[in-house]
Structure 1
């Protein structure tokens, strides 16, 4: 039997409103990847709600990592999402380097903001910390807002293909071999973009946009990409398949009248779709 790959996933654990670890765990499990969660914060419900309870896990993160070290636990992939403080980036830097030397794939989803603005908890120090993390990564998956902040560029409502290629190259020059930028609004519609520095391949994957925004779609994107890469799927096929799945999940969520704060529905999607369907 084929060995099950293991992925350590550093992200917040939010009890209500599908996002972060509650999206990554079922997605990776569905794709035949053992998801090993490492909480960066614990929330009663996500920050889109007017009120929420939150425990910052920064003071416990080093001990959590040391617990894995003491047991000599090794991972095929280390995947980071929302980080609750600049100190968390400092804690993760040497651990990512250690995992790289052991042969792990490093994936950084630089969760910092959306729709042209940073999340309230983010600071300039945290942006600098995130730049250090992406320098170590093999793959990064910023949305367009996050790509602009990482590059120090002004956010634009729409952007040309030429500028997207430029942004992808500049991000790859910061360290990662593969760059994916999600949720890009362009004159001819919306698209996810990818770039493979080794081959010079650019991928533009258009998708249909509904007039609604659910939490968890970015986490779903990155988790799907991690699963496909660990199973050897090519970048262009992966981005197109991910676009299909997210579009279907958002459409189902919208058609069922799901309250926006509940996040994107995955349960009915998983009943209908085989996430590891072979390339067409």
Structure 2
């Protein structure tokens, strides 16, 4: 008998241009031989980093969509959350967790709230507080430093530079909120970008030479590769390293092409790397 293919529910927006959200997560997860099943939070023509964008808010459709999944007796090996635009959408995610989390279902929360010490325009203090309600259900959480500070109600450090001791303390505090593993991404470390992993009481860092500027969708790419690795049975540490390596290759090629930052990562050239995992 053939084993059932692994599948992940993606609760995130669908953006037509700009390589972010479900638009990058679905092909990357598929390349890793895992089925990707979107539950859209919104449909956008381009992401909000462009001067103008069209947005169709999907909040009112999310519950009927999810209820139909339940009527069809669907189940998932993981639920991966991304950008959530309102408190109501976070309530829908909590409902999805209660409906679809089985004994072995992993919950990976990418708390997309801001970057470089600033929140995205849609994020209010009330919405940030609501995001914390997902933490007790998360197995893995993947904030950047801005988001980690928001989740912990801490000030963003000057110039985004944080000591190892402070990182360790933050990771312990985040883990105490529920997740067994915390991955803090995009940290400044001299000429490198650092990824900090805290898992089951142990910490490790991965440093990669900084290449160019920040690009849209990098966090979505990272979370997708980590989630697919986990449901494939690949250790989290290996999945984190693979995601960071993959993003590094994409960043180098983006610089070679001189792509605008809001065009995202040209991941298509490197998907073959993921098929080998």
Q: TM-score range by the shorter chain?
A: over 0.9
CA contact (8 A) 1:19 1:216 kept: yes
1:164 equivalent to 2:167? Answer yes
CA distance in 2 between counterparts of 1:133 and 1:33 reads: 24
Determine if the alignment matches structure 1 residue 48 to structure 2 residue 22. Answer: no
Query: CA offsets per residue over residues 79-117 of structure 1, 9 Å max, x none?
Result: 110112111111221321232345311111100101110
Q: Which residue of the partner structure matches residue 180 of structure 2? A: 177
Corresponding position: 1:193 with 2:196: yes
The aligned counterpart of 1:274 is 273
The DSSP-based 3-state class of the residue aligned with 2:123 is coil
2: distance between equivalents of 1:180 and 1:11?
19
In structure 2, how many angstroms separate the alpha carbons of the residues matched to 1:22 and 1:99?
23
Say yes or no: does 1:206 pair with 2:194. no
Counterpart of 1:148 in structure 2 is: 149
- Structure 1 residue runs of 4+, over 6 Å off? none
Flag structure 1 segments of 5+ consecutive residues without an equivalent. none
Partner of 2:68: 67
Q: CA deviation at 1:188?
A: 7.1
Separation (CA, whole Å) in 2 of partners of 1:37 and 1:103: 20
Give 1:37's aligned residue. 38
Aligned partner of residue 205 in structure 1, secondary structure: strand
Shift of 1:55: 1.1
- Cα deviation, residue 187, structure 1: 4.8
**Separation in 1, partners of 2:191, 2:213:** 19
TM-score by length of 1: 0.94
Report SS of the residue matched to 1:8.
strand
CA shift, 1:241, in A, is: 2.0
**Higher relative contact order by CA 8 Å / sep ≥ 6: 1 or 2?**
2
Root mean square deviation of aligned Cα? 1.4
Report SS of the residue matched to 1:250: helix
Deviations 1:165-214 (A, max 9, x none): 111110000001111110011357420011113xx221211111123121
User: Which residue number corresponds to residue 236 of structure 2?
Assistant: 235
**CA shift for structure 1 position 242:** 1.8
Count matched residues. 274
CA distance in 1, matches of 2:136, 2:190: 31
CA separation in 2, counterparts of 1:81 and 1:12? 8
8 Å Cα contact 2:7/2:37 also seen in 1: yes
